[in-house]
Amino acid sequence: MKKTSTIILRDKKYEVKAGSTLRVALRRLEILPESVICVRDGELITEDNILQEGETIKLVSVISGG
């Protein structure tokens, strides 16, 4: 069975392959690291963190308009 992690951005949920870095996962999802901050279990993490199987990363969008 494929090992995956979950990435959540606003109301969207993505299943991504575990074992690669968050940076790689963001690239595959076409999400710019510049436009989000990444949170794991309430803690901020950098994009070089390796995604662990079954974990969830919440992305906080940082762009505000107006």
- Residues within the interface to other proteins (CB under 8 A): 32-37, 39, 43-48, 60-66
Q: Which is nearer to other proteins, 1 or 62 (CB)?
A: 62
Max CA pair span of the chain: 45
Based on CB atoms, which residue is closest to other proteins, 1 or 66?
66
Euclidean distance between CA atoms 13 and 48, whole angstroms = 21
CB of 47 to other proteins, least distance (A): 7
- If phi over 0 gives left and psi between -120 and 50 gives alpha, with beta otherwise, what is residue 24? alpha
Minimum CB distance to other proteins, residue 41 (Å):
13
